[in-house]
């Protein structure tokens, strides 16, 4: 049996980093870890080929080769996925769809022959047997959340690491919190499940042996969901990284209560964490309570951000507008917070009611759902009726983006960040980093309309912020992505 695994293209969002990737000569931010793991679960005697359409085209020759085509993706990847499914159908090719999208889209069986809902570890062997015998069912639904000790190593031989700006591993699934808008807890549950330290180091060995050096994204939605376990993992990670001369730096996502645990922060610092994404969402306490994001309430959000930064980790954060309790001046409050906290990369989005979430269920009961949405919180098309006037909400959201990603405002914020930031780990320089620097000077310093602001920033980076020059340059390039996308999204080109 020949299985073709296909990953749909990401739309152009803040998370895609599409406008920054060409600086480094990269094609995508991270490889499709889920499909690489599925590949390892398929029978050993099956031939496998993986096409990540973020880095290469899906050709007719690929489809000609395949006996079955297996897709994975998220709701935000639905349009290109449906197009490719239709293409397979026209050729009479059987298809399978899995991944988070199947938990959000109810009628996936209209587009694919077989739909896998939930985590795949315990389903794939049965599905593969049924496909071989020609008796595969339309729907395979996971009845339990599998322990992660059953998760095999991803098949890295199916990708070319050089196309990606970072590699990805997963340590845990699930989160103990209960945010109303979150689909993670609906899909993966509220009891975090973890891999053993030995499983994690085996994945790192795999990347190291594939000659990967640089950034590794630990893709967990909340890396510190089980603090006791993560404290067992981190010394092992630090030892592994130290023994090999620190080939990797780590980036992950965590809940804000990370700031309360000095021991955990110290362990992350030692292991090589340089960046952490936090879901801050809003400085408005009543909106946090409405969203059931209790871990962010009754605390100084600013102090929490500073404390994490004190351990050499750059804080990236998510923000949301559109909660019922948002006051009329929420847009100013968000901008003020982002500026004061000096968070360079602030992912601000409009609230989305994702199907399957508590929020979606509440708004359905209240008769406020308009459609299933697009899974992209930068999309100006709201999928529910907000309490605030919708035009005012979208206009206010647009004004946040324009204010925080104007070139002057952005570089000023990065300066404030650099003044307080003292990196602990320096990524080993690769050829692509020098290439990125040269391209940055050319594109941002010569061709861009923001070149004056860029040169002023570059001068400051080389003089006042020399202690963090690499970070400054990385943020200049990342800033290009955010600035370009903001202009495109707000249509101010």
Task: Report how far residue 315's alpha carbon sits from residue 317's, in angstroms, rounded to the nearest whole number.
Answer: 6
If one asks whether residue 185 binds ligand SF4 (CB under 6 A), the answer comes out as: yes
What is the CB neighbour count within 10 angstroms for residue 103? 20
Q: By C-beta, is 8 or 225 nearer to ligand SF4?
A: 225
Reference 118, options 108, 133, 132; nearest CA is 108
Query: Which one of 6-14, 25-33, 176-184, 404-412 is the stretch in contact with ligand SF4 (CB under 6 A)?
Result: 176-184
Q: By C-beta, is 42 or 101 nearer to ligand SF4?
A: 101
Q: How far is the CB of 172 from ligand SF4 (least distance, A)?
A: 11
Among 3, 70, 175, 259, binds ligand SF4 (CB under 6 A): 175
Among 53, 77, 255, 471, binds ligand SF4 (CB under 6 A): 255
Q: How far is the CB of 135 from ligand SF4 (least distance, A)?
A: 38
Q: What does R_g of the chain's alpha carbons equal in angstroms?
A: 22
Among 96, 108, 128, 182, binds ligand SF4 (CB under 6 A): 182
If one asks whether residue 220 binds ligand SF4 (CB under 6 A), the answer comes out as: no
Sign of the CA dihedral running 34, 36, 39, 41: negative
Q: By C-beta, is 113 or 221 nearer to ligand SF4?
A: 221
Q: By C-beta, is 220 or 326 nearer to ligand SF4?
A: 220
Query: Which one of 37-45, 105-113, 174-182, 429-437 is the stretch in contact with ligand SF4 (CB under 6 A)?
Result: 174-182
Largest CA distance in the chain: 68
Q: How far is the CB of 183 from ligand SF4 (least distance, A)?
A: 8
Q: By C-beta, is 255 or 383 nearer to ligand SF4?
A: 255
If one asks whether residue 177 binds ligand SF4 (CB under 6 A), the answer comes out as: yes
Q: How far is the CB of 226 from ligand SF4 (least distance, A)?
A: 12
Q: How far is the CB of 189 from ligand SF4 (least distance, A)?
A: 11
Task: Report how far residue 426's alpha carbon sits from residue 423's, in angstroms, rounded to the nearest whole number.
Answer: 7
Query: Which one of 111-119, 179-187, 197-205, 356-364 is the stretch in contact with ligand SF4 (CB under 6 A)?
Result: 179-187
Query: Which one of 3-11, 37-45, 173-181, 201-209 is the stretch in contact with ligand SF4 (CB under 6 A)?
Result: 173-181
| Residue 439 CA: distances (Å) to CA of 22, 194, 448, 473, 480 | 9, 40, 12, 11, 12
Task: Report how far residue 439's alpha carbon sits from residue 18's, in angstroms, rounded to the nearest whole number.
Answer: 15
If one asks whether residue 265 binds ligand SF4 (CB under 6 A), the answer comes out as: no
Q: How far is the CB of 372 from ligand SF4 (least distance, A)?
A: 19
Query: Which one of 83-91, 114-122, 182-190, 297-305 is the stretch in contact with ligand SF4 (CB under 6 A)?
Result: 182-190
Task: Report how far residue 447's alpha carbon sits from residue 460's, in angstroms, rounded to the nearest whole number.
Answer: 20
If one asks whether residue 179 binds ligand SF4 (CB under 6 A), the answer comes out as: yes
Query: Which one of 8-16, 57-65, 180-188, 480-488 is the stretch in contact with ligand SF4 (CB under 6 A)?
Result: 180-188
If one asks whether residue 221 binds ligand SF4 (CB under 6 A), the answer comes out as: yes
Among 184, 233, 271, 315, binds ligand SF4 (CB under 6 A): 184
If one asks whether residue 222 binds ligand SF4 (CB under 6 A), the answer comes out as: yes
Going by their DSSP bridges, the two strands 193-194 and 172-173 should be labelled as antiparallel
If one asks whether residue 341 binds ligand SF4 (CB under 6 A), the answer comes out as: no
Identify the residue whose tokens are 């949405």: 373
Q: How far is the CB of 358 from ligand SF4 (least distance, A)?
A: 10
Q: By C-beta, is 127 or 288 nearer to ligand SF4?
A: 288
Site string for ligand SF4, 274-313 (x = CB under 6 A): -----x----------------------------------
Q: How far is the CB of 281 from ligand SF4 (least distance, A)?
A: 8
Total chain residues near ligand SF4 (CB under 6 A) = 10
Instruction: Name the site residues for ligand SF4 (rule: CB under 6 A).
Output: 175, 177, 179, 182, 184-185, 221-222, 255, 279
């Amino acid at each position: 049996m020949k299985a073709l695994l296909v990953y749909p293209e990401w739309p152009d969002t803040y998370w895609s980093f599409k406008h920054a990737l060409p600086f480094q000569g990269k094609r995508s931010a991270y490889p499709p870890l889920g499909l690489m793991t599925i590949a390892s679960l398929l029978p050993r005697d099956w031939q496998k080929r993986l096409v990540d359409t973020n880095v290469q085209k899906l050709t007719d020759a690929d489809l000609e080769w395949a006996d079955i085509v297996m897709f994975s993706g998220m709701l935000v990847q639905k349009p290109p996925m449906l197009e490719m499914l239709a293409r397979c159908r026209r050729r009479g090719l059987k298809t399978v769809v899995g991944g988070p999208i199947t938990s959000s889209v109810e009628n996936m069986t209209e587009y694919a022959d077989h739909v896998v809902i939930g985590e795949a570890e315990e389903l794939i062997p049965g599905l593969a047997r049924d496909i071989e015998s020609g008796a595969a069912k339309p729907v395979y639904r996971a009845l339990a959340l599998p322990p992660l000790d059953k998760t095999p190593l991803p098949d890295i031989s199916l990708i070319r690491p050089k196309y990606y700006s970072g590699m990805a591993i997963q340590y845990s699934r699930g989160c103990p919190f209960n945010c109303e808008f979150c689909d993670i807890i609906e899909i993966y549950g509220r009891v975090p499940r973890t891999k053993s330290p030995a499983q994690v180091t085996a994945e790192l060995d795999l990347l190291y042996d594939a000659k990967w050096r640089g950034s590794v994204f630990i893709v967990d939605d909340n890396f510190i969901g089980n603090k006791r376990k993560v404290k067992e993992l981190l010394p092992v990670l630090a030892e592994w990284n130290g023994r090999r001369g620190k080939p990797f730096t780590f980036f992950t996502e965590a809940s804000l209560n990370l700031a309360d645990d000095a021991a955990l922060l110290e362990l992350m610092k030692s292991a090589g964490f340089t960046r952490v994404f936090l879901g801050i969402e809003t400085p408005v306490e009543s909106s946090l309570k409405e969203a059931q994001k209790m871990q962010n309430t009754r605390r100084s959000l600013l102090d929490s951000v500073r404390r994490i930064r004190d351990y050499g980790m750059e804080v990236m954060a998510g923000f949301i507008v559109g909660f019922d309790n948002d006051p009329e001046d929420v847009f100013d409050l968000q901008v003020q917070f982002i500026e004061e906290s000096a968070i360079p990369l602030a992912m601000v989005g409009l609230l989305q009611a994702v199907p399957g979430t508590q929020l979606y269920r509440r708004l359905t009961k209240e008769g406020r759902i308009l459609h299933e949405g697009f899974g992209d919180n930068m999309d100006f098309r709201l999928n529910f009726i907000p309490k605030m006037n919708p035009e005012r909400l979208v206009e206010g959201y647009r004004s946040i983006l324009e204010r925080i990603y104007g070139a002057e405002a952005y570089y000023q914020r990065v300066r404030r960040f650099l003044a307080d930031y003292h990196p602990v780990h320096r990524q080993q320089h690769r050829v692509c980093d020098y290439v990125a620097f040269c391209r940055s000077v050319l594109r941002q310093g010569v061709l861009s309309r923001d070149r004056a602001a860029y040169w002023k920033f570059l001068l400051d980076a080389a003089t006042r912020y020399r202690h963090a020059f690499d970070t400054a340059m990385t943020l200049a390039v990342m800033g290009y992505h955010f600035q370009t996308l903001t202009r495109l999204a707000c249509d101010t080109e």
